[in-house]
Chain A
Amino acid sequence: MRRIAIRSLLFDRGKLIASLLGVALASTLGFVQVGLYRGFERSSSAVIDHVGGDLWAMPTGLEVIDYAQIVSVGPRNLLLSHPCVADVRAVLYGFALLQLASGQRSTALVVAVEPRAQWQIPWDVVVGDAADLDQPLRVSVDRTDLKKLELPQSAIGKNFEINSRQVTVAAMTEGIRSFTLSPYVFTSMTNARRLLGVGENEAMYYVIDLADKHCGPQLAAWMKRQPDIQLLESGVWSRKTEDYWVGGSGAGAALLFTAILGLFVGGVIVGQTLYSMTKEHLLELATLKALGARPWELARFVLWLVAFLAAAGVISGFSAALALKQVLLSAGLTVVVSPGTVGLSVLGTLLMCLMASITSLMTVYKVEAATVLR
């Protein structure tokens, strides 16, 4: 039945092209929307994920990394006194006023983390050297933010103003964008304290590396003596930030809606094609039934059509999504192509095709052998 189905589909070029376009469109939309969704999630929690650590200490009630508040050195000292704690790193993270050459005012997110060999902050440096950030008021900016910062493509050595201080670009990263649309400005702890006006004994977050990964709950219980400080696992903190921005802003729902709409449109096109092909071959299928084919054998005619279209859709959608990924990256949008996003998109395409085949399957299943003699 596989050969009958595939050859019938390939034989009718018009229907083949129409259905391939439909399934490819839906599949591409699925890949891109899911990739964008994951891209938004990743960009909103990128700093948390790259700073790493086992736990983050922060003011109680904080919902998202971007609304950082100053914490004194007290909790840090307390944490370091606990035997479970191997290391504590301070994180400076905060909005600062951006004064651009054109006179326009905006905000930037200044980020600095106490350096450790295994955690490279900033990451994905493509021009310059992150080690240069230790020099006075040297910063790293992202390539996709150059326009926003009114900087040229060769921005190394160029200046702009943060909180009334001239900073100089010493390094550039690729693809590190904030969900808040404010450009990330990475620098050293010393520079960040100057730019954000944070004292020597202060930080926004303390990132904890545990000596024993299992004693997180014990440490959290012990830290209850500081009710104004909460400890969150890195993964939980990352997810919380993602949920706040992508879920809370409605961006996730918009992406999901577009993806569903794409799958719906694709499903209608595929469904129409399948039904039309099934109706066209109903007499031949009824003939096979008259000759003794079982209903499920006839259903395989539709299922093979669906399988072919789904496979073609997944391949074309994936290829198109890879091409669009580059285009969208230049527009500052990250499309994540990972096993997870690919799996979800493939599943969506398969479900779409299966849903689209229901009417055809029912038609084939119910076809009466006696039809051929009427």
Chain B
Amino acid sequence: MIEPHILVKASGLTKTYWMGHVQTTVLRDVSLELRAGELALLMGPSGSGKTTLLCVLSGMLRPSAGDVELCGVPITRLAEKHAAEVRRENLGFIFQTYNLFPALTALDNVAEVLALKGMPLQAAQQRATEALTGVGMGDRLNHRPGELSGGERQRVAIARAMAGNPALVLGDEPTAALDRKTGLDVVRLLRDQVNERRGVLLVTHDIRLAQFADRVIEIDDGQIVADGAAHAFSSHDGSFAT
């Protein structure tokens, strides 16, 4: 059996902040690996370090100690512009607030990001159309975000994240602003995007999403306290079966 390739390999991550004279440690010796073909959930209470871990894993924040390899590239040692290159090539993002340009249509919101990555406009529009059609937005290509529902906006954001064919998609509470049914639809859609060359890591509070996940990682007080298969995770009490 061929081992799925490792998308993220983090070892010994520590992140401390200085708030005035007070030092706050947000991540404590975190190590983890994410592989292609995996939909993983990163769960934990507010302030547990989930978002900081996401930032460090994506190279947007430098850890105080430890290393991150993103798609084989040790990004913690890279200059910001080179880390940006690695993100450009390998990452897609989905956010709670969608972060779409309000003046652009759904098509342009996706196509402009591809154009920014160097794709010719016509090809970018073609790819964006395919990506939007793939997430069920083929009939809403020319609608602006203000003309779309929350679920539709998130679909556009997913299409934007997927259109560049990234190896890893990171989501920060992508269902938090959506109603239950729409939220589950969105995660189902993300589940469909996972394949042997792509993985998804979602930060969430919503334990119901575990039914779509392969793996659940729990973090508390900056430390990984549990990491296991999603089927062993109880969506009733939010803990792993022992």
Q: Which residues does A use to contact B, with CB under 8 Å? A: 1, 3-4, 7-8, 10-12, 281, 283-284, 286-294, 297, 368-370, 372-374
Contacts and interface: CB of A to CB of B under 8 A. Distances in A.
Given A291-B92, A292-B87, A283 B103 contact: no
Given A11-B102, A290-B60, A373 B55 contact: yes
A7 B104 CA distance: 7
Nearest to B85: A292
A283 B97 contact: yes
B119 interface: no
B129 interface: no
Contacts of A1: 112, 116
A293 B116 contact: yes
Contacts of B21: none
21 contacts: A1-B112, A1-B116, A4-B103, A4-B112, A7-B103, A7-B104, A8-B101, A8-B103, A11-B103, A283-B97, A284-B99, A284-B100, A284-B101, A287-B95, A289-B84, A291-B117, A291-B164, A294-B81, A369-B84, A370-B55, A374-B51
A290 B116 contact: no
Interface in B94-110: 95, 97, 99-104, 108
Contacts of B86: 292
Interface of B: 51, 54-55, 58, 60-61, 81, 84-89, 91-93, 95, 97, 99-104, 108, 112-113, 116-117, 164, 172
Given A287-B95, A370-B55, A4 B87 contact: no
A292 B102 CA distance: 20
Contacts of A290: 58, 60, 87, 91, 93
B87 A12 contact: no
A369 B60 contact: yes
Contacts of B99: 283-284, 286-287, 372
A291 B97 contact: no
A357 to B, nearest CB: 19
B104 A4 contact: yes
A45 to B, nearest CB: 52
Given A290-B60, A292-B117, 17 more contacts: A7-B101, A7-B103, A12-B103, A288-B113, A288-B116, A290-B91, A291-B164, A292-B85, A292-B87, A292-B91, A293-B116, A294-B81, A297-B116, A368-B60, A369-B87, A372-B99, A373-B95
A294 B85 CA distance: 8
A3 to B, nearest CB: 6
Which 3 pairs of residues, A with B, have the shortest CB-CB distance?
A: A292-B88, A11-B103, A287-B99
